[in-house]
A and B are shown apart, each in its own frame.
Chain A
Amino acid sequence: MTIPNDIVITPQLVADHGLKPDEYQKILDLIGREPTYTELGIFSAMWNEHCSYKSSKKWLKTLPTSGPRVIQGPGENAGVVDIGDGQAIVFKMESHNHPSFIEPYQGAGTGMGGILRDVFTMGARPVAAMNALRFGSPDHEKTRHLVSGVVAGIGGYGNAFGVPTVGGEVEFDERYNGNILVNAFAAGLADTDKIFYSKAEGVGLPVVYLGAKTGRDGVGGATMASAEFGDDIEEKRPTVQVGDPFTEKRLLEACLELMATGAVIAIQDMGAAGLTCSAVEMGAKGDLGIELDLDKVPVRETQMTAYEMMLSESQERMLMVLHPEKEAVARAVFEKWELDFATVGKTTDDLRFRVLFQGDEVANLPIKELGDEAPEYDRPWTPAAPAAPLAAGDVPQMDVADALLRLMGSHQVSSRRWVYEQYDTLIQGNSMQRPGGDAGVIRVDGHPSKGLAFTSDVNPRYCEADPFEGGKQAVAEAWRNLTATGAEPLAATDNLNFGNPERPEIMSQLVHAIKGIGEACKALDFPIVSGNVSLYNETNGRGILPTPTIGGVGLLPDWTQMARIGFADENQAILLIGGPAERGTHLGQSIYLRDLFGRRDGSAPHVDLAAERKAGDFVRGLIRSGVVTACHDLSDGGLGVGLAEMAIASGIGATVTAVVGHDPILTFFGEDQGRYLLTVNLDPQGDAIKALWDEARDKGIACAWIGTTGGTELVLGDSRPVPVKDLTSAHEGWFPSYMDGAAA
């Protein structure tokens, strides 16, 4: 069945396209007539939340996005950061939440595909990937199915494409029961003088379509992703795209080969809203019009309408503007890789977006207003209402050893080996730290010593209790994880996942989280260079936990000096850097409260950004001086969990003192911020360690010798010694037994 282009536009049809009445009025005012059916589809694709950032743009503009190393900030396919020696790291994180809930394997796989394309579109060869996954409660009926499908989908795509997964996150919380989060990160290496952009230049130049053919899959995907879920979710399955990593891998090689010929003027991948979005972006950015002839578009199905072609989200496709004299060279490259190559249009000087189909002009719209001048909202938001602190002395008690064992075997802390062993973590031969540590590290291929560190972080519990502090904490934790390997944090990408922004209390979460992110990025000189906003993460009116995921990238001048989390040897001094003198004080929003007592109360821990920076710079200096033998930042579960993770990673135990007169629950499970655990190969009685303490004291940084490595047990203060092997079996046990259907 074909739908004619001149059907009557009813209010219902407008609503079905996710456009509000006032937005439709804006369209009428803009073009001075009723839009055609295809035009309505184009507006719906360009003006939805996913593509236009209409609710978040005002606030995103407040983020720090520049710095001495930043070559390209937000607004392109990915951010670009200088790493010296004429090279740059190109990276971004992007969500594929709604598709992954509807069809987990294809949804997550095409999420990987999309983010990889964003990176190689800029001329970079992908060298590392991560993914931050958030699922519903383990005992929810859909959770196992979603975990299994999402992980297999990411692996199925990324493994075939050939990029190592170096890190990521997996979390469970009932607030994601009806709306999981799949945030995919990719980074690639490029030469700084060979970065490619989407801005078209020159009139009358060929617009070329490359890659896979266009089908009906994913029609309306970006509009679907910009709506809440209801009970009709199963009906949305056809809006999910189907991925083909084999084509993506060929597209990567063909694009890089083509870029090397000098034929490419501008390039844009076809992601959300496919042909529409890529063509409009290239034209609008270059202040040019674009004319497309849909009869030239390679299609895989017959009888496709203009509407379907313009809104298809078929994967593995690119649009380029090429130097006309190099068209033959370009065609030869694509023929070698057996990919489609078709000249489908040209750039014009009239600032119109014109679409021709079977001899008719089916769309003729002003390109700037469609693209970079799309609507923008200043949505109302409620004042911040952070959760109240716990009452003084409110410290629910449990045996410290029992609590530690339960936390290590909990869904929150347990090992993610079941997940990351389904990802190729060592392809390309440059993985220096694979998943399981604070950050993933790769060496820069071809350079004798340089390495890059990658991490993904956010604590949605903190963000729910206090979006501002939570936003700060997400940035600080990413910065801390990079620092814990010895890397200099360079820049970050943000993937902001929130509920319906039309509700003032949700908009408040978004606004305050962005403010917190901005403040932390400024204080830590850690600019945001790319990102993605995913709103309407709600099912039947209930929002997810606010989840602004931060992907951080750091630079190691010499990867042979990087720190790892496992204890390196016996009889080494364990130092706690940063935080209060009592070591741990803050139990609000901790996993100790949530997972052992079912409590979600208390304030989020405060992040002192000045202290954060001082402690981090001190730790990085120590790592680079060569005295540090292991390093781990403290996060979920505090000091106790941090020590246990260091013991498990090495099989070596430790004995750690209690703080006299202080509640051991607070000492070992408080989640105070800005703290690192180090081991050093220095004599605890010697001069070198004294000098280290003096330096810390002079700088105003807490630095306490809290214990010594050794033996086969972990001893926390006066509590019962816990064999490391028991910690290990608890830690390794939860995930496989859960997926086998045993635990929940």
Chain B
Amino acid sequence: MKSAVIVFPGLNRDRDMIAALTKVSGTAPAIVWHQDDAVPDVDLIVIPGGFSYGDYLRCGAIAARSPIMDIVRARAAAGVKVLGVCNGFQILIEAGLLPGALMRNNSLKFVCREVKLEVVNAATEFTRGYTQGQIIRCPVAHHDGNYFADADTLARLEGDGRVAFRYAEGTNPNGSINDIAGIFNENKNVLGLMPHPENLIEAAHGGDDGRALFSGLLGAAA
């Protein structure tokens, strides 16, 4: 399985994501600079975390309007899997690939800590490495991860199995509605999540609960 990582100026977890994809799959992803005019033919496109364009204007808003996102949108429509983590999730929302909004954390502060996540829908290509309802550990590190959607959207997300991960055991770090940590698009080939599974993939990280996301996705051995 081939993957590509899109890099915008100001992203800073690109190296973490590239390391995770490489370590889990054994193959380094293609790296696509935002000014490139093509994305290689891959099965998975990843937009990693960071502060694209300094988070100026609104988190993810400027990157979402970059020409490269037209290619990402077209690939997503064609069924290619797209994963956005943290700032990547914010960019996918701003690009209209996922619904809702990510507001400032309810604490009004940046938060970096470990939380618990419930795998709400394990029947997708992203989450098949987990079991339904499994509780996993995962770190978060963000300032604007407070997910919000209107009641109709929320009902559709919940009703159609589009909530991927929920903060569990009282560890919601940001005030997200329904404890939502990650969501799918309608076709479940686009996933956005705030936590950082790429920072919990090996013993050196103090655990490897994040690894199954990549191993399941990449068809690699867990």
Contacts and interface: CB of A to CB of B under 8 A. Distances in A.
B198 A246 contact: no
- Specify which of A336, A420, A427 lies most central, judged by the most chain B CB atoms within 10 Å of its CB: A427
B53 A246 contact: yes
Given A162-B12, A427-B12, A432-B204, A422 B111 contact: yes
Nearest to B14: A162
A155 interface: yes
A614 interface: no
A250 B9 contact: yes
Contacts of B15: 428-429
A152 B139 CA distance: 20
A443 B204 contact: yes
Contacts of B55: 160, 246
Contact of B205 (A160, A420, A429, A559): A429
B165 interface: no
B54 A244 contact: yes
B148 interface: no
Interface in A261-291: none
B111 A246 contact: no
A421 B171 CA distance: 14
Contacts of A155: 109-110
A561 B202 CA distance: 16
Contact of A160 (B10, B109, B198): B10
B193 to A, nearest CB: 16
A106 to B, nearest CB: 15
A421 B51 contact: no
B65 interface: no
- Specify which of B10, B20, B143 lies most central, judged by the most chain A CB atoms within 10 Å of its CB: B10
Given A426-B139, A427-B141, A156 B110 contact: yes
A336 B36 CA distance: 11
A152 B9 contact: no
- Specify which of B12, B53, B198 lies most central, judged by the most chain A CB atoms within 10 Å of its CB: B12
B50 interface: yes
B71 interface: no
A424 B86 CA distance: 13
**Residues of B contacting A: mostly:** mixed
B112 A161 contact: no
B13 interface: yes
A371 interface: no
B113 interface: yes
Contacts of A337: 9
B112 A246 contact: no
Contacts of A443: 204
Interface string B99-137: 000000000011111000000000000000000000000
A429 B19 contact: yes
A250 B8 CA distance: 10
B112 A162 contact: no
Contacts of A429: 15-16, 19-20, 198-199, 205
Contacts of B50: 160, 162
B199 A246 contact: no
Contacts of B198: 429
Given A423-B112, A424-B112, A425-B112, A338 B204 contact: no
Contact of A162 (B13, B19, B110): B13
A729 interface: no
Interface residues of B, number: 28
B183 to A, nearest CB: 23
A245 B51 contact: yes
B110 A159 contact: yes
Interface string B148-177: 000000000000000000000000000000
A249 interface: yes
Interface in B174-208: 196, 198-199, 204-205
Interface in A217-257: 244-247, 249-250
A426 B137 CA distance: 14
B10 A249 contact: yes
Contact of A246 (B20, B35, B51, B110): B51
Nearest to A158: B110
Contact of B10 (A250, A336, A427, A430): A250
Interface string B1-40: 0000000011011011001100000000000000100000
B16 A428 contact: yes
A159 B110 CA distance: 9
A254 B113 CA distance: 31
A160 B51 CA distance: 6
A159 B10 contact: no
A255 to B, nearest CB: 14
Contacts of B53: 246
Contacts of A249: 9-10, 12, 51
A426 B143 CA distance: 15
Given A246-B51, A427-B141, A422 B9 contact: no
Given A155-B110, A156-B110, A421-B112, A427 B51 contact: no
Contact of B110 (A161, A250, A422): A422
A421 B15 CA distance: 22
B59 to A, nearest CB: 11
A244 B55 CA distance: 11
Interface string A145-171: 000000010011001111000000000
Contacts of A247: 54
Given A159-B141, A424-B141, A426-B199, A246 B56 contact: yes
A447 B54 CA distance: 31
Nearest to B35: A336
B12 A160 contact: yes
A155 B55 CA distance: 14
A422 B54 contact: no
Contacts of B9: 246, 249-250, 337-338
Interface string A424-459: 111111101000000000010000000000000000
Given A159-B143, A422-B110, A428-B15, 17 more contacts: A161-B12, A246-B55, A246-B56, A249-B12, A250-B9, A421-B113, A422-B109, A423-B110, A423-B112, A424-B110, A424-B112, A426-B199, A427-B12, A427-B199, A429-B19, A432-B204, A443-B204
25 contacts: A152-B110, A155-B110, A159-B110, A159-B112, A159-B141, A160-B10, A160-B51, A162-B13, A244-B54, A246-B10, A247-B54, A249-B9, A249-B10, A249-B51, A250-B10, A421-B112, A421-B113, A422-B112, A425-B112, A427-B16, A429-B16, A429-B19, A429-B198, A429-B199, A443-B204
| Minimum-distance CB pairs A-B, first 7 | A246-B54, A162-B12, A160-B51, A429-B16, A424-B141, A155-B110, A422-B110
